[in-house]
């Protein structure tokens, strides 16, 4: 199986209680067809006030950057930063390109590990190879952190296009599937002010179903900020892991959202679909104090509460409801 299929499978071999059956050849081919269709989709610039681009920087050659295209329109110290973990911990920085461009269009610099290896202008993905293949992480949480630190350094460097455009207090970490695990590993960094976990959860202690990934449920006790889990419902292969996380988190506010999408979420929909809208609202609320965005999550009549596509559960919510 080629790396593009690995990224889509993500954390396909574990749930909170027991290993899950490997996907069938038919399922693998269906995922490959979906990935080929996604590869052919044009880039989108997002729906925010600042149409976004993706690029690679010479000073950060093994990462992909999403940012507002016209930096001349950006007020000083207004941009946020999102360090992103790719699905499957892949080394394709464009693997969730529509979602990341949507976030960037709302005034963020988003940095994903890996070069641009899919999407417009890239060779089409190869068909999956027959037979079982080992899942191996191709990126690390250290690379996600390196992206955040690069953006902070560029903000402080005279002559940088990003010089003095970033507010260092608006830093978040997020990720999809295996990349969500990377986000949780970094969440205790004091510079991180918001956490978004997509279709993911920590593996049970003592298990290692993916090469290069070791997790500890004790990480959840180190969380410092509110965290949101955006999941794909019971058919999401990460559902039980994420639900176990939600039940274990006791020290910070946590929201548990589900939409009946399965593990793939809405990443392959234009502008990242409904999950991107929710992620943006969380970032705007947590990093910018936007009360309208907070109304998506607060109260019995919150935005996602009245949206039939979503179910929501919340814990430790008292400090956010004041």
- Walk me through the domains of the chain, giving residue ranges and CATH numbers: 3-320 (3.40.50.1820)
Tokens encoding 316? 């430790």
Per-residue confidence in pLDDT tens, the chain, 322 aa: 333 344 444 434 333 333 344 556 776 777 778 888 888 999 999 999 999 999 998 889 899 999 999 999 999 999 999 999 999 999 999 999 999 999 999 999 999 999 999 999 888 877 666 655 667 888 999 999 999 999 999 999 999 999 999 999 999 999 999 999 999 999 999 999 999 999 999 999 887 777 778 888 999 999 999 999 999 999 999 999 999 999 999 999 999 999 999 999 999 999 999 999 999 999 999 999 999 999 999 999 999 999 999 999 999 998 886 6
Contact between 216 and 204 under an 8 Å Cβ cutoff? The reply is: no
d(CA 152, CA 162): 9
Furthest-apart CA atoms within the chain: distance in Å: 55
Q: Give the residue among 279, 48, 288 at the shortest CA–CA distance from 173.
A: 279
Angle at 157 between CA 154 and CA 160, to 5 degrees: 65
> What pLDDT shows up at residue 171?
98
pTM of the model: 0.92
Q: What is the pLDDT of residue 321?
A: 67
How many helices (H) and strands (E) are present in the chain, helices listed first?
A: 8, 9
Owner of token pair 């960094």: 189
Residues 90-121: b if buried by 16+ CB within 10 A, e if exposed: bbbbbbbbbbbbbbbbbbbbbbbbbebbbbee
- pLDDT for res 127: 67
pLDDT, residue 4, reads 39
pLDDT attached to residue 17: 33
With the CA atoms of 11, 119, 230 and 179 taken in that order, what torsion angle do they form, in degrees rounded to the nearest 10? 40
> What is the model's pLDDT at position 208?
74
Residue with tokens 């997002």: 46
Judged by DSSP in three states, 108 sits in strand
């Amino acid at each position: 199986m080629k790396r593009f299929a690995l990224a889509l499978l993500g954390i396909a071999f574990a749930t909170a209680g027991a290993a899950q059956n490997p996907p069938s050849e038919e399922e693998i081919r269906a995922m490959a067809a979906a990935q080929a269709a996604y590869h052919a989709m044009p880039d989108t610039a997002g729906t925010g006030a600042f149409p976004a681009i993706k690029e690679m920087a010479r000073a950060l050659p093994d990462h992909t950057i999403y940012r507002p295209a016209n930096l001349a329109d950006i007020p000083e110290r207004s941009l946020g930063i999102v360090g992103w973990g790719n699905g499957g911990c892949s080394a394709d920085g464009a693997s969730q390109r529509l979602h990341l461009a949507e976030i960037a269009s709302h005034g963020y610099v988003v940095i994903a590990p890996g070069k641009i290896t899919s999407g417009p202008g890239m060779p089409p993905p190869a068909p999956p190879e027959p037979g079982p293949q080992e899942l191996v992480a191709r990126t690390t949480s250290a690379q996600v952190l390196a992206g955040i630190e690069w953006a902070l350094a560029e903000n402080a460097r005279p002559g940088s296009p990003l010089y003095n455009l970033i507010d260092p207090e608006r830093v978040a970490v997020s990720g999809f599937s295996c990349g969500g695990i990377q986000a949780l590993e970094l969440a205790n960094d004091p510079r991180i002010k918001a956490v978004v976990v997509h279709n993911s959860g920590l593996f049970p202690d003592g298990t290692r179903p993916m090469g290069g990934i070791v997790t500890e449920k004790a990480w959840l006790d180190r969380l410092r900020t509110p965290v949101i889990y955006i999941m794909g419902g019971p058919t999401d292969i990460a559902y039980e892991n994420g639900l176990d996380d939600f039940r274990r988190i006791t020290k910070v506010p946590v929201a548990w959202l589900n939409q009946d999408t399965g593990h793939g979420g809405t990443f392959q929909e234009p502008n990242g679909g409904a999950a991107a809208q929710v992620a943006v609202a969380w970032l705007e609320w947590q990093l910018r104090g936007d009360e309208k965005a907070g109304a998506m999550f607060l109260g019995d009549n919150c935005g996602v509460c009245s949206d039939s596509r979503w179910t929501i559960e919340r814990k430790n919510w008292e400090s956010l409801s004041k």
